[in-house]
């Protein structure tokens, strides 16, 4: 088991360097004068320009610049936002919990309903329920989620007034950010109704964000179940006279969940992409919205290192999923 | 009273008019007997046995005049009742042992499952019995194997585990569907020997599905030859091999490489087995039979007693009394 | 005893349907796939003949008909079947012209990523030791970023607009083709017919393109269909974020960006463009599913 983890970690490192190379290259590709790009100003006077070149190390050869860049990263120096002049890292840290909370809520929504729907659809193959689930999930991942968000807002927030339109919590409440998770922090506050308010704000965005993963998980679970139910060992289990419930849940589901787990992990990527759009629609103060605003404002230090951080996040989650996969599937564990 | 009585069994996939994969099969097996079922791939050998076990799912439709095992009318049993018989008195092992075991659970778990389900055994007693079963199927180092996962076992060992699971309920009838086809030649002999010794020791009936005629000659008492979903000849071993009545049986025997006597080409029948689109109106072998008459092309013969065996032919061979 | 008469074998292969007919039979059984196909044909028709099909010019502003509701509602007019937007432009015409953009983006991005993707996949599969690892590492790095984010990053660098959107989407779809092709190629390389072709003296290009590649096409075709639909979604997302096709070009996603402010007043400006995206993507996905079912289970049902 340990060697498996070590091997997977070993694969992480070149990928990580690849990402840094990618983000480094991306910024260098921006058209225009690099000083102006990095400082966000136009027409810097020649003396300051030369000083800036010196300071930013832009007159060194490219590979030296790259080494500088990685060196800075190793020290945790991810530069400063051009707009707020605070460090990129601290901005990320403060905004990340919001995205995390939203993502976890979305995943729970997607996981619970997706698995349930998928298993039942597989068991009742060809029935109305099956077709319904398949149809809805197909629609689910065919739809532009920003539009879906707008529709839900139109319906639930504007017409029915059940949920708020934006933000994490009503401006009335002043919640101290202990963990950054609104659902936890509100428990500590004296204000009654704060927790409920936070929940109300969380519902719609997490449904919107979780819709695509829900659809994918439902489909994946269904097809995985159907495939597993066709396998020889399920036939053996039935030939052993085991009850249908046992055949399905003990023999079937256990193996069917394995590919679903991978999908679950891969959904993190979709989730982060979706977070960008969801946060924009709901004005949810997370890293997605932060990144988009930075791009629009040409805040390149944020763009560059924000992308780096998000990519590292995705790699990390995929790594954890890989490990979990190894735990679930004995065959992978014992390979080589 | 036969242990197993199959009469006019048909299995179709689709609706009532779909082409039958098993077409009016009749078969009887007595207690403690060894019956071999031979035929080409696609002749319906496996599907017959799956129908008996209740493993044919929709869109498959199973119809029969009679399908009785050990006094139970398998057609009329409720699912719950059937599950009491299947896996206990009636067991089956399949062709590919490497995929027959659940990869996510240990060997011990999968054997103990049977013990728990059918014999009500639990905990230590079940584990002990599982160990005994592994010893019975001659697995080396059985204690360590109990906690092994299927992918850690070789083909031969996996098949032994499958056999252990099958005999755990002390079955009256064991069906072995091409148990050695997927194994190495050296292992094949060992597994067959194991099956036969278990059969004799437990006095259980054995249905052996195979396309290896040599194995049939050495192990079975009676043999049923199937073609295109029908039983074309049922007879006793050595007789059927020495004096086959049905032209297809004769062709099968002639096609064995050892029988070619150094000829340049192996003896074969021209043409292929009828599929979905080209089923003959008359005898199913008529497009290919070397002895075909006009009558054969129009009417289908029944499986009737001939001199030495039951044969489905209007003009059977070797009918002189020996 | 009658003397045996030799039998004549009938060429039974003539009785079986041809592969194209069999494919169409399987595909057409899937009603959803056929519905998807029909809808897409409609969209293609609109795209090809947009200037003649659309009732109005998409950028023409009717100043006295701002935010007109769709024709079947109160206040609606038959001139503007689906209503008008905040600048008085006819929604239906804009949607029809938008189909051109979406199809164009979809098609060009798929072609732009399919060809290099297949090539790289072939190389990675045929040379697993020399080129394989480096190609796959590169793909892994590209896949480490969620596709939309990578597309956003690329567009952030190159600047907004139609062409850059296509480039970004093409780059982002590349890794999946490479992976698919490589996996399929490596699966086929072990097969006997490849060994037979090698022994018969097939040259490398011939091996790659004539022997192996055609047998890998099935999953690639399915993937291409799905890429097409996600290209449309990604282009719309980029448009919505203001990073893709810029207004006043009537790209469906871009139309939604400006519609945001009118949720309360004019729901049709919000709902209809998104609905069009949904229906188009749904249709393509249905087709893709049908394709997959028709192409693949020939292998699965072979019993």
Nearest CA in chain A to C155: A295
pLDDT at B310: 87
pLDDT at C278: 92
**CB contact at 8 A, C291 and C226:** no
pLDDT tens across C25-83, in order?
A: 778 877 888 888 999 999 898 888 888 888 888 888 888 778 878 877 777 777 778 88
Most confident segment among A194-203, B119-128, B271-280: B119-128
- pTM tops 0.80, yes or no: no
Q: Does A318 have pLDDT greater than 80?
A: no
Cβ of C145 and A307 within 8 Å?
yes
Q: Does A322 have pLDDT greater than 90?
A: no
CA dihedral B253, B259, B262, B268 (to 10 degrees): 0
Q: Does B260 have pLDDT greater than 80?
A: no
Cβ of A144 and C240 within 8 Å?
yes
Q: Does B164 have pLDDT greater than 90?
A: yes
- Whether C163 has its CB under 8 Å from any CB of chain A: the answer is no
- Whether B279 has its CB under 8 Å from any CB of chain A: the answer is no
- Whether B109 has its CB under 8 Å from any CB of chain A: the answer is no
pLDDT at A92: 87
Segment among A17-31, B222-236, C193-207, C289-303 with least mean pLDDT: C289-303
When the pLDDT of each residue in chain A is averaged and rounded to a whole number, the result is 81
Cβ of C7 and B289 within 8 Å?
yes
Of C147, C148, C281, the CB nearest to A142: C281
3-state SS, one letter per residue, for chain A: CHHHHHHHHHHHHHHHHHHHHHHHHHHHCCCCCHHHHHHCCCCCCHHHHHHHHHHHCCCCCHHHHHHHHHHHHHCCCCCECCCCCCEHHHHHHHHHHHHHHHHHHHHHHHHHHHHHHHHHHHHCCCCHHHHHHHHHHHHHHHCCHHHHHHHHHHHHHHHCCCCCCCCCCCCCCCCCCCCCCHHHHHHHCCCCCHHHHHHHHHHHHHHHHHHHHHHHHHHHHHHHHHHHHHCHHHHHHHHCCCCHHHHHHHHHHHHHHHHHHHHHHHHHHHHHHHHHHHHHHHCCCCHHHHHHHHHHCCCHHHHHHHHHHHHHHHHHHHHHHHHHHHHHCHHHHCCC
pLDDT at C52: 83
With cut-offs at 50, 70 and 90, classify the pLDDT of residue A33. low
pLDDT tens across A76-116, in order?
A: 777 777 777 888 888 888 888 889 889 989 999 998 999 88
Cβ of A251 and B102 within 8 Å?
yes
pLDDT at C2: 45
Segments of chain C scoring below 50 in pLDDT: 1-8, 299-303
Cβ of A242 and B151 within 8 Å?
no
When the pLDDT of each residue in chain B is averaged and rounded to a whole number, the result is 87
With cut-offs at 50, 70 and 90, classify the pLDDT of residue A307. confident
Cβ of A239 and B104 within 8 Å?
no
- Whether B149 has its CB under 8 Å from any CB of chain A: the answer is yes
Chain B interface disruption, residue of C7, C9, C18, most B CBs within 10 A: C7
- Whether C7 has its CB under 8 Å from any CB of chain B: the answer is yes
Pairing between strand B20-29 and B4-13?
Answer: antiparallel
Of B272, B287, B317, the CB nearest to C7: B287
What mean pLDDT do residues B43-64 have?
87
Cβ of C9 and B271 within 8 Å?
yes
3-class DSSP state of C79? coil
pLDDT tens across B76-85, in order?
A: 888 888 898 8
pLDDT at A335: 57
Segment among A128-132, A321-325, B147-151, B190-194 with least mean pLDDT: A321-325
Q: Which ipTM value was assigned to this complex?
A: 0.85
Rounded to the nearest angstrom, the minimum Cα separation between C96 and chain B is 45
pLDDT at B35: 93
For residue B269, list chain C residues with Cβ-Cβ distance below 8 A.
7
pLDDT tens across C202-232, in order?
A: 888 888 888 888 888 878 888 888 889 889 9
pLDDT at A34: 64
Cβ of C10 and B278 within 8 Å?
yes
pLDDT at A44: 63
């Amino acid at each position: 088991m340990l060697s498996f983890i070590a091997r997977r970690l070993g694969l992480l490192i070149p990928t990580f360097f690849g990402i840094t190379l990618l983000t480094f290259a991306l910024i260098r590709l921006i058209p225009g004068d690099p000083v102006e790009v990095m400082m966000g100003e136009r027409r810097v006077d020649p003396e300051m320009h030369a000083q800036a070149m010196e300071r930013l190390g832009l007159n060194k050869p490219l590979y030296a610049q790259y080494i500088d860049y990685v060196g800075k990263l190793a020290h945790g120096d991810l530069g400063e936002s051009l707009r707020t002049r605070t460090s990129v890292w601290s901005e990320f840290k403060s905004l990340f919990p919001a995205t995390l909370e939203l993502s976890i809520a979305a995943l729970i929504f997607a996981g619970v309903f997706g698995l349930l729907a998928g298993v039942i659809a597989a068991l009742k193959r060809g029935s109305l329920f099956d077709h319904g689930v398949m149809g809805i999930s197909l629609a689910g991942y065919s739809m532009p989620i920003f539009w879906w968000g707008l529709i839900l807002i139109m319906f639930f927030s504007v017409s029915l007034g059940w949920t708020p339109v934006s933000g994490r919590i009503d401006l009335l409440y002043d919640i101290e950010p202990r963990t950054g998770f609104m659902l936890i922090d509100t428990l500590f506050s004296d204000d009654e109704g704060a927790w409920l308010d936070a929940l109300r704000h969380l519902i719609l965005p997490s449904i919107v964000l979780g819709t695509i993963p829900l659809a994918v998980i439902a489909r994946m679970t269904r097809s995985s179940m159907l495939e597993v139910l066709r396998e020889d060992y399920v036939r053996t289990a039935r030939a052993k006279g085991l009850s249908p419930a046992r055949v399905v849940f003990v023999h079937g589901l256990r193996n069917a969940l394995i590919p679903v787990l991978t999908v679950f992990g891969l959904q993190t990527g979709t989730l982060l992409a979706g977070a960008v759009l969801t946060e924009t629609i709901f004005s949810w103060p997370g890293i997605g919205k932060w990144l988009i605003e930075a791009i629009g404002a040409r805040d390149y230090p944020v763009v560059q290192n924000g992308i780096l951080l998000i990519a590292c996040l995705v790699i990390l989650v995929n790594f954890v999923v890989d490990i979990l996969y190894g735990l679930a599937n004995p065959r992978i564990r014992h390979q080589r | 009273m036969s242990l197993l009585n199959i009469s006019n069994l048909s299995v179709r996939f689709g609706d009532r008019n779909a082409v039958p994969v098993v077409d009016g099969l009749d078969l009887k097996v007595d207690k403690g007997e060894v019956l071999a079922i031979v035929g080409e791939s696609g002749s319906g050998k496996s599907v017959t046995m799956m129908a008996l076990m209740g493993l044919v799912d929709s869109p498959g439709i199973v119809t029969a005049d009679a399908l009785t095992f050990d006094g139970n009318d398998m057609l009329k049993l409720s699912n719950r009742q059937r599950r009491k018989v299947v896996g206990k008195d009636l067991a089956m092992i399949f062709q590919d042992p490497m995929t027959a075991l659940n990869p996510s659970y240990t060997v011990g778990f999968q054997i103990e499952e049977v013990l728990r389900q059918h014999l009500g055994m639990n905990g230590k007693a079940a584990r002990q019995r599982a160990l005994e079963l592994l010893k019975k199927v001659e697995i080396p180092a059985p204690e360590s194997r109990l906690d092994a996962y299927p992918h850690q076992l070789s083909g031969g060992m996996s098949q032994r585990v499958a056999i252990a699971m099958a005999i755990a309920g002390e079955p009256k009838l064991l069906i072995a569907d091409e148990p050695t086809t997927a194994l190495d030649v050296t292992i094949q002999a060992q597994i067959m020997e194991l099956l036969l010794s278990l059969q004799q020791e437990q006095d259980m009936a054995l249905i052996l599905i195979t396309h290896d005629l040599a194995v049939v000659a050495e192990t079975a008492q009676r043999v049923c030859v199937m073609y295109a979903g029908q039983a074309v000849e049922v007879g006793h071993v050595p007789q059927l091999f020495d004096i086959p009545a049905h032209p297809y049986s004769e062709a099968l025997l002639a096609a064995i490489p050892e029988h070619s006597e150094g000829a340049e080409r192996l003896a074969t029948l021209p043409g292929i087995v009828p599929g979905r689109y080209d089923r003959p109106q008359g005898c199913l072998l008529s497009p290919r039979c070397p002895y075909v008459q006009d009558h054969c092309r129009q009417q289908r013969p029944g499986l009737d007693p001939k001199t030495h065996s039951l044969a489905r032919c209007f003009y059977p061979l070797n009918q002189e009394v020996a | 005893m009658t003397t045996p008469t030799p039998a004549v074998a009938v060429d039974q292969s003539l009785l079986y349907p041809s592969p194209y007919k069999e494919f169409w039979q399987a595909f057409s059984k899937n009603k959803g796939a056929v519905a998807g196909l029909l809808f897409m044909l409609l969209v293609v028709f609109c795209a090809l003949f947009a200037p003649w099909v659309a009732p109005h010019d998409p950028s023409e502003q009717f100043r006295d008909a701002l935010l007109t509701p769709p024709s079947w509602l109160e206040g609606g007019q038959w001139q503007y079947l689906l209503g008008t937007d905040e600048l008085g432009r006819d929604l239906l015409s804009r949607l029809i012209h938008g189909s051109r953009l979406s199809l164009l983006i979809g098609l060009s991005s798929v072609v732009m990523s399919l060809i290099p993707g297949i090539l790289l996949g072939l190389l990675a599969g045929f040379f697993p030791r020399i080129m394989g690892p480096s190609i796959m590492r590169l793909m892994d790095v590209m896949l480490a970023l969620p596709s939309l984010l990578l597309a956003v990053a690329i567009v952030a660098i190159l600047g907004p607009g139609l062409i850059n959107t296509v480039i970004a989407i093409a780059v982002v779809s590349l890794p999946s083709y490479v992976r698919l092709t490589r996996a399929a190629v490596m699966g086929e390389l072990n097969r006997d017919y490849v060994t037979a072709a090698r022994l018969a003296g097939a040259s490398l290009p011939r091996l790659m393109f004539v022997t192996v590649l055609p047998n890998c096409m099935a999953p690639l075709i399915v993937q291409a269909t799905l890429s097409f639909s996600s290209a449309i979604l990604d282009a719309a997302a980029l448009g919505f974020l203001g990073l893709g096709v810029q207004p006043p070009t009537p790209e469906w996603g871009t139309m939604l960006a400006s519609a945001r402010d009118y949720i309360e007043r004019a729901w049709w400006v919000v709902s209809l463009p998104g609905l069009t995206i949904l229906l188009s993507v749904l249709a393509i996905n249905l087709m893709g599913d049908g394709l997959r079912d028709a192409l693949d289970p020939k292998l699965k049902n072979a019993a």
